[in-house]
Amino acid sequence: MDISPRLVDAVQTAQSEHIQLRTAGTGSKRQWLPGSGGQLLVTTEHVGIVAYDPAELVITARCGTPVKEIVSVLAQHNQHLAFEPPQFFGSGTVGGMVASGLSGPARPWGGSTRDAVLGVKLCNGLGEVLNFGGRVMKNVAGYDVSRLAAGSWGALGVLLEASLRVQPMAQSTATLSFEMDAAAANEYCRNLARSYTPLNAVWWNNNQLFLRLSGSAQAVEQKISDLGGHRRLSDQIWRQISDHDHKFFKATYSGGPDRTGHKLWRVITPPGAPLPEHYDVQNFAMEWAGGQRWWWHNDSARVQAYASEVGGWAHVKGEPQTVDETPGKYMLAIKQAFDPHGLFLSPMERGITHAD
Amino acid sequence: MAADKPQAVIDQLRTLLPDDGLITDAAGLKPYECDGLTAIREQPWVVALPETEAQVQKILQICHTHKVPVVPRGAGTGLSGGARPMRSGVVLGLSKMNKILDIDVQNCTARLQPGVRNLAISQAAEPHGLYYAPDPSSQIACSIGGNVAENSGGVHCLKYGLTVHNLRGVRVVTIAGEVLELGGPLLDSPGLDLLAVMCGSEGMLGIVTEVTVALLPKPPAVVVMLTAFDSVNEAGQAVADIISEGIIPAGMEMMDQLAVQAAEQFAHAGYPQDAAAILIIELDGAGEEIDSLAGMVSRIVDNAGATSIDIATDSSAQARLWKGRKSAFPAVGRLAPDYYCMDGTIPRHRLSEVLDKINQLSAEYNLPVANVFHAGDGNLHPLILFDSNVPGQLAATEEMGGKILELCVAVGGTVTGEHGVGVEKLNQMCVQFNSMEIEQFQRLKLAWDPDNLLNPDKGIPTLTRCGELGGMHVRHGELPFPEIERF
Ligand SMILES: Cc1cc2nc3c(=O)[nH]c(=O)nc-3n(C[C@H](O)[C@H](O)[C@H](O)COP(=O)(O)OP(=O)(O)OC[C@H]3O[C@@H](n4cnc5c(N)ncnc54)[C@H](O)[C@@H]3O)c2cc1C
C-alpha cells in the first residue's frame, strides 16, 4: 500500500507545528543505535515492491516493505542482496536497511548496502518529495544523494522508496572451519585475500576460523580440496552472525565468559591490522577478512587506543559513532541543506562532536 | 563581489608556487582551454600547478579570500567540459601530484596522489598479482582524481563496479582550505558517508588530494568471446539471457555496424564487418570453472541467434579483440572531421526502441550515428558524426544530442552514465530533475561552498536556465523563478 501522502503530510504538519520527528520502521535496529525524543513517524504500512525485473538486476520497493519479503522474492529468481543485510530479531524494513547502511558478513566481497543503492525517493525537511538516482546501474547526473542516504539514519529525510542493485546467487556455497589462533587466522586471511578465491565471508572467534566459499560448483569444490579444513553441514552460522544471534553477541550465555561491566565494541581496522596485545579469545572476534573486529571489553580507553594505533576507529554497539569536529561540521552542513528546520531527529547526529 | 582578476591573487600565488607552477602567458594557457569536450573553449586567467596538499590548501584559501572561482583539473580527458576553465578563474591542475604513495599488499589497497594515471595503478600492483578494476578507455591518460570526480566506469565495471565501489578513502581540501580525511584502507566510516557524495561530485565540493583504492587479485583464467548478430535486437536479447541465467561477465560490450566497421578499419581486430551488431563478452574466474562458463555462454548466445562465435583464450588474441572496442572513439573519429560522444543510460530492455529512435533522429538531422554500448549495464554511447566547418552542424549536433539524452530520461534512464554533467548536459539536467530537486542539489553545494567558487558553472543548472528552456517541470502550476540568481 502506498501511504506516501500520509507520510509527507506528517512532515508538512510537523514543519508548521514545529514538532520534531523520528522515522522508524519495525524498530529492529534499536539495539544497534536507539533513537530518542521526537514524535515517531512509522513507515511500516508503506509497503510494496514497485518494480522488479530480474534481467535488469534492479528492485524498487517502498520503505516499509519487510527485508524478508525482498529476500524471498529475489530468491524465487535465484537472486539476492549481495551485501547480506542484517535482520535483527528477524525483522527490518527496506527503509531501515538503507538508512542504517549496515552490511553483513559478505561486505568485503559483495559490497556494502551503500554500494547497492541505485536510487531513492525521499521527503526532505521541507516536505518536498524528491527523486535521486534511478533504476539504472550507471548514473552520475547530480550529486549522489542516494548513496549519501545510505547510513544517514534518517537525518536527511524520510526515505519513501529505494532502488537496489541485486545479484545472481552463487551456484554453490560451502562453510569450512579450522582450528586456528587469531594471529594465524589473520595471516591465513591475508593470503586468501591476495589470491583469487571464491571466498565471501570470514569469522574468527575462540580459536576457530570459519570461511564461506561461494561461486560455481567447480570453483568451490576445488577450493574445498585445496584448503582442507572441516566442512560444516550447514551455513547457518552466517545468518546468526549477520543478525547478531550468534552467542558471541550475547552478554551472557551458558559456559560463556563473565562479561559484567563489558561493552561490545565494533572496531573497524585495515583488514591486515595487527591484533591487540592482550585479548581474551572468547571476547574477541574478526569479520570482513579482518576489517571488522568485535571486542567485549570493560576498558574503553584500551579499545580506543588500539583502534587509533592501527589506523581504525571504534564504537560501542548501542551508541553513536564518534565523528571528529571538522568532518562533523561538514556533515551537519549537509544535514542542514536537507532539513533546514532540524525536523528529523537522527541518532547518528549524537555522535558528532560539536565545536561549541 | 570581489574585483575581477585581482592582482593580489597572482602575487600571492607567485610567492607560493615555483616558477613552473604558475602559468599566466597565453601560449602556456593554451593547452588548458578545454578538456576532452573540445568544442567548448575558454582561455583561463591563470593555471596553478601545486605539488603538495599544503599548496592546494593555500591556493584555495587565497581564492576563497578574494572570491575567485577555481576550476579543478586532472588530465583533462573529461568529455563533458567539467574542467573547462573560466575567464576570470584559476585552473587548479593536479598533474604534478602524480606519485604512487603506497601499494599496500597487506590490505590490498593503493594510496595515490590525485594526478596518478589510472593505468599506472594496475601497473604498479602487477608484481603482486593485483590490479585496480575500473578501466575507462582513457586509462592511459586520465587521472585517478578525475576518476573520483566523475565516478568513472570502464568495460569491467559490470562485474567489478564503478569508481565508487572500488574507492576506500580520499583526502579532500574544501574551498575554506580545510582538510577532510574520509575513509582509508577501511570498509566503513563513522557518520554520514561523505566519501559517497564526493565521488562523482565533479570538482564542485572539494579538491581531492589523495585517493585510496582497493586492489583485486587477478583472475587466473580469462576468456574473451566475439559474437556477431544480424540485428541489434538479438544481441540485446543475448545480453538479457546471459544475465537472467545468473552469469555476470567481467565485461559485455556491444557495437553497432557503423562502430564495428570504423573499429575494424582502425584496429584490425578481426570484427565481422557485415554484422549488424557484435557483442564482446569477457568471462573470468578460476581455471577449473572457465570452460563450463564459456560453454554456457556460447549456448546462450547461440540460442539468441548469434551468427558467429569466436573464442580467444590467449592474452594476445584477447588484447586484439579488446583493442577494437577500446579504440572505438578515435576510430569513429576518423569517419568524419568531428564526432560528439553521448553518454546516456537506459534500462536494457528498452534498447531496441531507443536505437530505433536514434536512427530516426539521425535521418531527420542527416547526421550519421555510431553506437558503442556498455551492454551489461545499459550505458549507451551514441557517437554523432559531423563537421564543425559546415555552418550550423555543431548546433544541429548538440540539439540532436540533447534529444537523445531526453529520450534516455523518457524511457527511465539518465542523461549521463559516466561522463558527468559538466557544462555539456546542464540543459538536460532540467529535464531529468524538477525544480525542487535542483534546489536541493544547490543547497547541498552551498553547504560546503557558500560563495559558489568551486567549479561554479558546472554540474547543476540554475533554475533560471531551466526556466528559459521551458523544460522545467512545473510544480503547483507555477514556474519557480528564483529572485536571486545564485548559480
Ligand atoms: C577517448 C576517451 C575515452 C574515454 N573513456 C571513458 C570510459 O570508458 N569511461 C569513463 O567513465 N570515462 C571515459 N572518458 C572520460 C574521462 O576520461 C573520464 O571522465 C576521466 O575520469 C577524467 O579524468 P581526468 O583526469 O582527465 O579529469 P579532467 O577531465 O581533468 O576532470 C574531470 C572532472 O573532474 C574534476 N577534477 C579533476 N581532478 C580533480 C581533483 N583532484 N579533485 C577534484 N576534482 C577534480 C574536474 O574539475 C572535472 O570536473 C573517456 C575520455 C576519452 C577522451
Q: How far apart are CA B329 and CA B136, in angstroms?
A: 12
For residue B45, is it within any domain?
A: yes
Mutate to test the interface with B, among A12, A140, A339 (most CBs of B within 10 A): A140
For residue A348, is it within any domain?
A: no
Pairing mode, strands B308-312 and B344-345? unpaired
Residues A68, A180, single domain; the answer is no
- B362 CA → ligand 1 middle, Å: 28
pLDDT score for A355: 53
Residues A152, A113, single domain; the answer is yes
pLDDT score for B470: 66
Residues B190, B243, single domain; the answer is no
Which grid cell is B270?
578481426
Structural domain of A29: 5-168+325-338
Range with lowest mean pLDDT among A174-178, B82-86, B200-204, B326-330: B326-330
pLDDT of residue B481 exceeding 50, the answer is: no
pLDDT of residue B269 exceeding 80, the answer is: yes
For residue A351, is it within any domain?
A: no
Cβ burial of B19 (10 Å; 0-12, 13-18, 19+) is exposed
Kindly give the number of the ligand 1 atom that is closest to the alpha carbon of B82: 49
pLDDT score for B468: 85
Give per-residue pLDDT as tens, A252-263.
999 999 999 999
Residues B345, B468, single domain; the answer is yes
Question: Averaged over B229-246, what is the pLDDT?
Answer: 94
Distances (CA, A) of B455 to A89, B73, B182, B210: 47, 10, 21, 19
pLDDT score for B472: 42
Residue type, position B84, single letter: R
Domains identified in chain A, total number = 2
Chain B residues in contact with A111 by the CB 8 A cut-off are 161, 165
Domains identified in chain B, total number = 4
Considering CB atoms only, which of A131, A326, A334 is closest to B180? A326
List the alpha helices (DSSP H) in chain A.
4-16, 67-76, 94-100, 107-110, 113-116, 145-149, 182-194, 217-227, 236-242, 300-309, 325-338
For residue A113, is it within any domain?
A: yes
pLDDT of residue A236 exceeding 90, the answer is: yes
Question: Nearest residue CA, atom 8 of ligand 1?
Answer: B136
For residue B273, is it within any domain?
A: yes
Find the CATH number of the domain harbouring B229: 3.30.70.2190
A53:B243 CB<8 A = no
pLDDT score for B475: 37
Chain A residues in contact with B348 by the CB 8 A cut-off are 55-56
Distances (CA, A) of A53 to A293, B240, B347: 37, 11, 10
Kindly give the number of the ligand 1 atom that is closest to the alpha carbon of B153: 11
Residues A140, A16, single domain; the answer is yes
For residue A254, is it within any domain?
A: yes
Give per-residue pLDDT as tens, A154-180.
999 999 999 999 999 999 999 999 999
pLDDT-based confidence at residue B293 (cuts at 50, 70, 90):
very high
Find the CATH number of the domain harbouring B43: 3.30.43.10
Residues A29, A116, single domain; the answer is yes
Looking at B273, B307, B331, the residue that finishes a domain is B331
Residues B309, B409, single domain; the answer is no
A140:B419 CB<8 A = yes
Give per-residue pLDDT as tens, A298-352.
999 999 999 999 999 999 999 999 999 999 999 999 999 999 999 999 999 999 9
Structural domain of B453: 337-472
Residues B147, B231, single domain; the answer is no
For residue B486, is it within any domain?
A: no
Give per-residue pLDDT as tens, B339-368.
999 999 999 989 989 999 999 999 999 999
Share of chain B above pLDDT 70, in %: 96
pLDDT-based confidence at residue B4 (cuts at 50, 70, 90):
confident
pLDDT score for B476: 35
Q: How far apart are CA A137 and CA A13, in angstroms?
A: 36
- If one counts every other C-beta atom within 10 angstroms of the C-beta of residue B431, the result is 20
Chain B contact present for A167, CB below 8 A:
yes
Residue type, position B77, single letter: T
Residues A227, A294, single domain; the answer is yes
Residues A176, A163, single domain; the answer is no
Looking at B73, B93, B113, the residue that finishes a domain is B93
Find the CATH number of the domain harbouring B193: 3.30.465.10
Find the CATH number of the domain harbouring B434: 3.30.70.2740
Looking at B217, B234, B251, the residue that finishes a domain is B217
Chain B contact present for A151, CB below 8 A:
yes
Residue among B60, B73, B334 to mutate when testing ligand 1 (max atoms within 8 A of CB): B73
Residue type, position A288, single letter: W
Mutate to test the interface with A, among B440, B455, B473 (most CBs of A within 10 A): B440
Residues A113, A257, single domain; the answer is no
> Is the beta carbon of B143 within 6 A of some atom in ligand 1?
yes
Residues A283, A233, single domain; the answer is yes
Tell me how far apart the terminal alpha carbons of chain A are, to the nearest angstrom. 45
For residue A353, is it within any domain?
A: no
pLDDT of residue B185 exceeding 50, the answer is: yes
Q: What is the mean pLDDT of chain B?
A: 93
For residue B424, is it within any domain?
A: yes
pLDDT of residue B173 exceeding 90, the answer is: yes
Chain B residues in contact with A141 by the CB 8 A cut-off are 414-416, 421, 425, 429, 432-433
pLDDT score for A240: 97
Question: Averaged over B466-480, what is the pLDDT?
Answer: 53
* CA-based R_g, chain A, Å: 21
B192:A144 CB<8 A = no
The per-type count for chain B, helices as H runs and strands as E runs, is 18, 19
Residues A238, A142, single domain; the answer is no
Number of Cβ pairs < 8 A linking chain A and chain B? 259
A138:B108 CB<8 A = no
CA distance A253 to chain B (A): 29
For residue A179, is it within any domain?
A: yes
C-alpha triplet B40, B43, B84: angle, nearest 5°: 45
Chain A contact present for B433, CB below 8 A:
yes
pLDDT score for B485: 38
Question: Averaged over B285-310, what is the pLDDT?
Answer: 96
With beta carbons less than 8 A apart as the criterion, state whether A59 and A51 touch.
Answer: yes
